[in-house]
Amino acid sequence: MNEIRRGGRRSDHRQALEQEAPFDLLIIGGGASGAGAALDAVTRGLKVALLERDDLSAGTSSRSTKLIHGGVRYLEKAVKRLDRTQFALVRDALHERAVLLRNAPHLCHALPLVTPLYATLQVPYIMTGLKMYDWLAGRTNLHPSRFVNAREAKRRFPQLKAAGLRGGVIYYDGQFDDARMNVAIALSAAERGAVIVTHAEVTALHHEGGRVAGVTVLDRLSGERVEVGARAVVNATGPYADSVRRLDDPEAEPMLSASSGIHIVLDGRFAPPDTGLLIPQTEDGRVLFLLPWLGSTLIGTTDQPAPVVDDPEASEQEIEYILRHLERYFDVPVTRGDVKAAWSGLRPLVSDPTASDTARLSRDHVVHVSDSGLVTIAGGKWTTYRRMATDTVDAAITAGRLGDVPRPATVDLKLVGAERLDPDGVAALQARGFEADVADYLHHAYGDRAELVAELATDGLGARLAADHPYLEAEVVYAQRHELAVSAADVLYRRTRLGFLDEAATAAAMPRVEALLES
Ligand SMILES: Cc1cc2nc3c(=O)[nH]c(=O)nc-3n(C[C@H](O)[C@H](O)[C@H](O)COP(=O)(O)OP(=O)(O)OC[C@H]3O[C@@H](n4cnc5c(N)ncnc54)[C@H](O)[C@@H]3O)c2cc1C
C-alpha cells in the first residue's frame, strides 16, 4: 500500500496532478461514488487521481436524507414482488450500515425511528415488515423493532397528532453527516497517496488506439487547461454521467434520468433530539422522514422528474407538499415561515424505458463499460458506496488492463478522524473550556482531529460563525489547510453544514468566512 504522504491543501494536490501524471486510474467526480472509488483503489496500491468540478460532495452526496439504511421501502417492494434481488439489496446495505458505523463512528450513530399507526390494520403489516428488516440485518441489527402503544409513541415523539393514534413501531437505522463523510473518505484516500483536485472540471477525454487514455482538465480557479494521462478512467459524475459519456462517444445513448428529492429544515423544536419519525404512506405512495439533525429538524424527501442542473432548488410546490403532510401528522402548527432552509438533490436513476414513473426505477447501481473502456458508475445509494467502489474499480482494472491488482482493504479501514478516536473526547474538549454544544459538535465532526481545530480556536479563532450554531471561525482555517476547501461555499455548505441548516445565518456569516479565507 502507498505510504501516508499527502495532506489536505488543494494547492499541493494541484501541483501533484502535473508532477505525478500519468496515473493508473483517473476518477471524474468527487461525490460518494468517486471518493469511494479513490479510496478503494489506493488500498490496492494503484496510483490514483480524482478530479472534481466543484467541491467534494457538491452534488447529490451532500443533499441526501442522511440515513445509513437497508431501505425499509425497498423491503416493502421485495415482499410485495417476492423479489430475491431486492431482499439481497436490503441485506447487503444493512451489512454496509454496520461497516460505516464501525469505521467512522464519530460521523454516524444509530437512530430510533417511530412509525406512527392510525389504523389497527396497519399494525401487523408494518410490524412484520420491520421484524423482517431486523432478521435481514442478522448479527448487525442495531436494536430489535418493537410495537409501542399510542401513549408511548406520543411520549417518544411528542409533536405527533394524538387524535386517532393507535400506536407505533420503533425501529433503528443509522444516521450520518453525508458531506463530512465524503470529506473523510477523500482525505483517507489522499493520506494514502491519491491526488484529489477540487474545482477541476474534465472537459474532454483523450483516446489512444480507440481506448480512453486520459482527460483534459480545466482548473476553474486559475483558468489553466492541463492534459492528464491515465490507464483507466472512471466516470463518477452522478446525474452528469451521460454528459461525460458523450465526451467519450458523442453518439452514446442516454443511460440516466433524474428526479429531484427535496428536504426542508426547521429548527430543533419540531423533533425530539434523539428520535426520528417515519411517515409510512404519503399521498403519492412514498415515505417521509422527519429527523433530528445537527440541532435542527430535517424533513424529506420528494420524487419529481427534474432536469439536470447545477444547484437544483426546492420548488415552492415541493415545500408545500412536505408542509401538507406535516399538518396531517402533527399537533404542532408548522408554517412556511418556520422553514429555515430548503434544498434539492438530484437522484440519478438508471433509465428503464418501460417504467412510467421515477419511483419505479431501480435504485441499485450500474457499472457500465464503454467500447473505449470508460467505466461509468451510476445510481446506488450512499450506504453502499464502498461496495459500489469495489465493483467500479474491478471494472476499471479489467478495462484498463491494469494486471494483477490485490483486493481492496476498506472493510476494516478506519476513516480519517476515527483512527484514534477518544471515547471521552467531548468531556476533554469541555475541560478545555469549550461550551457543551461546541464540544459535542467538534468531537463528532472531526473525531480525533478535533484537537487540531481546538488548537486554532484557542489561538484566537474561537468565535462562533453564527449565534445559534456551534460552528467556529477556526474551522474555516482548518478546512482550507487540511480539508481541501477553497471557497466560502465549500466551508459553509460542506465542511460546516450551516448552509443546509439556516439560510439567513449563512448569508450573515459569508463575509467573515471570505475574510478568513483571504487572510
Ligand atoms: C434526495 C435524496 C436523498 C437520498 N438519501 C439517501 C439516504 O438517506 N441514504 C443513502 O444511502 N442514500 C441516499 N441517497 C442516495 C445518495 O445520496 C446518492 O446515491 C449518492 O450521493 C450519489 O453519489 P455520486 O457520487 O454518484 O453522485 P454526486 O454526489 O452527484 O457526485 C457527482 C460529482 O461529479 C461532479 N462532476 C460532474 N461533472 C463533472 C466533470 N465534468 N468533471 C469533474 N467533476 C464533475 C459533480 O460536481 C459532483 O460532485 C439520496 C439521494 C437523493 C437524491
- Concatenated DSSP letters for 471-488? -BHHHHHHHHHHS---SH
**What integer best gives the mean pLDDT of the chain?**
94
For residues 429 and 510, membership in a common domain is answered with yes
Residue 376 lies in a domain: yes
pLDDT given at position 111: 97
Cβ atoms 376, 241 nearer than 8 A? yes
Question: Does residue 438 have a pLDDT over 90?
Answer: yes
Whether residues 347 and 431 fall in one domain: no
Average pLDDT over residues 172-192: 98
Confidence at 354, pLDDT banded by 50, 70, 90: very low
Answer yes or no: are the C-beta atoms of 117 and 166 closer than 8 Å: yes
On the 0-12 / 13-18 / 19+ scale of CB atoms within 10 A, 141 is middle
pLDDT of residue 49: 98
Q: Give 143 Cα–ligand 1 centroid separation in angstroms.
A: 29
Q: How much is the average pLDDT of 175-180? A: 98
Q: Are residues 392 and 448 in the same domain?
A: no
Give residue 167's region: left, alpha or beta (phi > 0; psi -120 to 50): left
| Atom from ligand 1 closest to the CA of residue 93 | 11
Q: Would you say the CB of residue 344 lies under 6 angstroms from ligand 1? A: no
Q: Give the cell for residue 302.
A: 420528494
Crossing angle of helices 72-81 and 122-137, rounded to 10°: 100
Asked whether the beta carbons of 292 and 263 are under 8 A apart, the reply is no
Domain-embedded: residue 414: no
pLDDT band at residue 128 using 50, 70 and 90 as cut-offs: confident
Residue range 398-417: average pLDDT?
Answer: 98
Same domain, 301 and 442: no
Q: DSSP letter at 104?
A: -
Please answer whether residues 50 and 100 qualify as being in contact, where contact means their C-beta atoms are separated by less than 8 angstroms: no
Statement to judge: residues 167 and 185 lie in one domain:
no
In the predicted structure, residue 358 carries a pLDDT above the cut 80 = no
Q: For residue 3, what pLDDT is reported?
A: 52
Tell me, using a 6 A CB cutoff, whether residue 62 lines ligand 1.
no
What are the beta bridge partners of residue 369? 375
Radius of gyration of the chain (CA): 23
Q: Is residue 219 part of a domain?
A: yes
Q: Quick check: CB of 201 below 6 Å from ligand 1? A: yes
Could you report the per-residue pLDDT of 451-471, keeping only the tens digit for each? Answer: 999 999 999 999 999 999 999
Nearest CA to ligand 1 atom 21: 61
Atom number in ligand 1 closest to CA 239: 30
Whether 1 shows a pLDDT value over 70: the answer reads no
Query: What are 150-176's pLDDT values in tens digits?
Result: 999 999 999 999 999 999 999 999 999
Domain that holds residue 215: 10-61+180-255+360-399
Return the bridge partners of 262, or none: 344
Q: What end-to-end distance do the CA atoms of the chain give, in Å?
A: 37
Q: Are residues 170 and 193 in the same domain?
A: no
What pLDDT is recorded for position 88?
A: 86
182 lines ligand 1 (CB under 6 A): no
Percent of the chain with pLDDT over 70: 97
| Mutation pick for ligand 1 pocket among 240, 242, 260, 374 (CB with most ligand atoms within 8 Å) | 240
Name the pairing type of β-strands 108-117 and 67-68: unpaired
The CATH code of the domain that includes 288 is 3.30.9.10
State the total domains in the chain: 3
The phi, psi pair for 454, rounded to 5°, reads: -60, -40
Residue 362 has pLDDT above 60, yes or no: no
pLDDT of residue 357: 45
pLDDT above 90: residue 32: yes
The yes-or-no verdict on residue 255 having pLDDT over 60 is yes
Decide which of 359 and 288 is more confident.
288
Residue 407 lies in a domain: no
Question: 347 with 383, same domain?
Answer: no
Q: How far apart are CA 331 and CA 494, in angstroms?
A: 33
CA dist 406 and 409 (Å) reads 9
Q: How many whole angstroms from 64 Cα to the centroid of ligand 1? A: 8
Instruction: Please determine, for residue 440, whether its predicted confidence score (pLDDT) is greater than 90.
Output: yes
Residues, the chain: 519
Do 208 and 276 lie in a common domain? no
Q: Give the atom of ligand 1 at the shortest distance from the alpha carbon of 247.
A: 41
pLDDT of residue 359: 43
Q: Which of ligand 1's atoms lies nearest the C-alpha of 259?
A: 53
- For the entire predicted model, the pTM comes to 0.96
Q: What is the CATH number of the domain that holds 446?
A: 1.10.8
The pLDDT-based confidence of 72 (bands split at 50, 70, 90) is confident
Considering the domain boundaries, does residue 290 fall inside one?
A: yes
Q: Is the pLDDT of residue 257 over 70?
A: yes
What's the longest Cα–Cα distance across the chain?
A: 70
Q: Is the pLDDT of residue 5 over 90?
A: no
Residue 346 lies in a domain: yes
Q: In ligand 1, which atom is closest to the CA atom of 263? A: 1
Question: What pLDDT shows up at residue 207?
Answer: 98
Q: Are residues 121 and 237 in the same domain?
A: no
Out of 13, 40, 54, 60, mutate this one to test ligand 1's pocket (max ligand atoms within 8 Å of CB): namely 60
Under 8 Å between Cβ of 264 and 313? no
Q: Output the nine-digit C-alpha cell for 485.
A: 476547501
Q: Does residue 415 form part of some domain?
A: no
Separation between Cα atoms, residue 84 and residue 81, nearest integer Å: 9
Among 180, 483, 179, which Cα is nearest to 343's? 179
Asked whether residue 277 falls in the same domain as residue 167, the answer is yes
Helix/strand/coil for 450: helix
Residue 48 sits in a domain whose CATH number is: 3.50.50.60
The answer to whether position 1 is within a domain reads no
- The whole-number pLDDT of residue 57 equals 98
Indicate whether 162 and 74 sit together in one domain.
yes
189 CA to centre of ligand 1 in angstroms = 18
Query: pLDDT tens for residues 260-298?
Result: 999 999 999 999 999 999 998 898 888 999 999 999 999
Here the cell at position 109 is 450513530
Closest listed residue to residue 500, CA positions, set 201, 95, 16, 65:
65
pLDDT tens-place string over residues 320-352: 999 999 999 999 999 999 999 999 999 988 764
Does one domain contain both 454 and 512? yes
Question: Quick check: CB of 490 below 6 Å from ligand 1?
Answer: no
